[in-house]
Structure 1
């Protein structure tokens, strides 16, 4: 399965993408060892863990203001300068290639789909099912026909499933004007991508730096920490950052997950490296992808902040339906 055909670069060998500062994804044997090996300790999540919050966003937000609504997992609605921007939108019940199996929701989206304002732009970070959700993208295309900005190769996946999805593919470090003096730059991140067994790293993955009137927002949808190289690089190229949105979940067991997913301690180091004035946490509490307990990421984040002598209010974990405004 070929999803991208383009020139060789410092992160594309002609067939596969790679991160020069990263690590390759785990092998099938290592996946089987994690899933079926002896001694695995997988925490039990409650079948349903509803958020006490639900948001009904305004149609538009204007002036020098940004309104961020946490939908859940890695999904956000960002409203600024009269634009409505969705990040990795997932309204499906499951994040899986199989409709009746795989990780399922443990709480409703923080915004009901019918309560969404007109969506202008969607940013999709990579091809994993908990980030690139074709049923949601199709519903958005049918209702709003937004631009969908995504890294190279994911456009093929989207259009192959639904030609109505207005996907536009870009490389690392490409800057895209979204209108009203808002722009987004795709930046390298320590991760990988696949939709099946035979397309590993045949599409690119990225984080985003969103330029707004109140400052730059660094949106990291999935990432390992490594040596912190990518976070320091973003600080150097794009700083100062007003806000960082950083993942804190899907991290156990560490021997398997550490190269692609940060734990809360890593996320606190990433915040220090990127230098953002404020951080919001995500990628926790909605889909059980790994072995930690449902509340472990938030508890560990608070402990990591205390250990680093960083005020807890500088790095906040919202529940679906909660809103943060700048």
Structure 2
């Protein structure tokens, strides 16, 4: 039964993504050190796996069992947090509510039931959001790191836009994807190293992130991906939505240029099988090394135990993270893995 569902999912994915992905160009602009005029790319070796590898994995995999659902005790955030205090509510996956300096900032907001182009099949969340949508305070800023379905959720963006009219900030090309579905939604698209003011004392910088992008089979790397650096007077916040290790070069660079880092948000999940996942997804050991390369005072683990996206078992990433912390001499206080609904008052630098 499970193999049959996988085959149906894959065949539906191939058909729908081929039909919707024809001749998609999300961005036109000058060439750069990460854009060749048609596609974006990382420094270092290119991603050398494609649709044939995807199909081989999907048809031969033996995925571990995940629970149908996991109970969550939701957070009910305050309306605002002023001054140097930093309150972070872990909603789940890479969705966080960051409150500091009077701003309410959401990262990669996903309140949908599935991370999929379909409403009827595809990865279904096993943990409800750690903050109910109606309990969200007024949202000022929305940051979307890239266009994969578990990060760019068009339905949630539209709900936020209709309710709060937040500033929606994305890397180049992702504005086109959003506007094709919701043409009235105002989006700001920027390149790596661009910087914008969010308030008088908080600024945002887009930084390199070692990943890739696609919404269909025919639009790979047509939209950019990025990490986000929030520059505040109380220490900086470095949000990485999804990233491979990439020889650690981007993390070393972030540590040299963007310190002091008060909080880094680092993905630890969906890393199996390594032959297929390693390019775009760190494992917990690499996340600990990234934490050390960045020189972060504190780090929060993300991208685990919400959607069954790969062959990583439920509960496996935090267990592997604990072993990696011990191996590298990093304390649990410094690098935490929290369940959805948890709140962390992060100390200032």
Q: TM-score range by the shorter chain?
A: over 0.9
Q: Which moved more, 1:20-29 or 1:213-222?
A: 20-29
SS of the equivalent of 1:227 reads helix
Partner of 1:8: 31
Give the counterpart of 2:312 among 292, 306, 314.
Answer: 292
Deviation at 1:81, TM superposition (A): 1.0
Partner of 1:32: 55
Asked if the contact 2:194/2:206 (under 8 Å) is kept, the reply is yes
Alpha-carbon distance in structure 2 between the residues aligned to 1:25 and 1:286: 28
Which runs of structure 2 are paired with 1:267-278 in the superposition (5 Å)? 267-278=287-298
Give the counterpart of 1:17 among 40, 43, 68.
Answer: 40
Deviation at 1:20, TM superposition (A): 1.9
Alpha-carbon distance in structure 2 between the residues aligned to 1:143 and 1:209: 26
Asked if the contact 1:148/1:168 (under 8 Å) is kept, the reply is yes
Uncovered stretches (5+) of structure 1, i.e. residues with no partner: none
Asked if the contact 2:82/2:101 (under 8 Å) is kept, the reply is yes
SS of the equivalent of 2:246 reads coil
Partner of 2:240: 220
Aligned-pair Cα RMSD in Å: 1.0
Give the counterpart of 1:49 among 56, 63, 70.
Answer: 70
Partner of 2:277: 257
Asked if the contact 2:245/2:279 (under 8 Å) is kept, the reply is yes
Deviation at 1:34, TM superposition (A): 1.0
Alpha-carbon distance in structure 2 between the residues aligned to 1:109 and 1:214: 28
Cα deviation digits, residues 166-194 of structure 1 (max 9, x gap): 21000001111101411111111110001
Question: Runs in 1 of length 4+ with deviation above 4 angstroms?
Answer: none
Q: Which moved more, 1:204-213 or 1:113-122?
A: 204-213
Which runs of structure 2 are paired with 1:142-291 in the superposition (5 Å)? 142-291=162-311
Quick check: 1:92 aligned with 2:112?
Answer: yes
SS of the equivalent of 1:179 reads coil
Asked if the contact 1:268/1:304 (under 8 Å) is kept, the reply is yes
Alpha-carbon distance in structure 2 between the residues aligned to 1:47 and 1:25: 34
Alpha-carbon distance in structure 1 between the residues aligned to 2:234 and 2:195: 18
Uncovered stretches (5+) of structure 2, i.e. residues with no partner: 1-23
Alpha-carbon distance in structure 1 between the residues aligned to 2:29 and 2:290: 32
Aligned residues: 323
SS of the equivalent of 1:84 reads strand
Q: Which moved more, 1:210-219 or 1:284-293?
A: 210-219
Asked if the contact 1:248/1:267 (under 8 Å) is kept, the reply is yes
Asked if the contact 1:142/1:164 (under 8 Å) is kept, the reply is no
Deviation at 1:25, TM superposition (A): 5.8
Asked if the contact 1:21/1:190 (under 8 Å) is kept, the reply is no
Deviation at 1:111, TM superposition (A): 0.4
Deviation at 1:212, TM superposition (A): 2.0
Asked if the contact 2:51/2:217 (under 8 Å) is kept, the reply is no
Which is richer in helix? 2
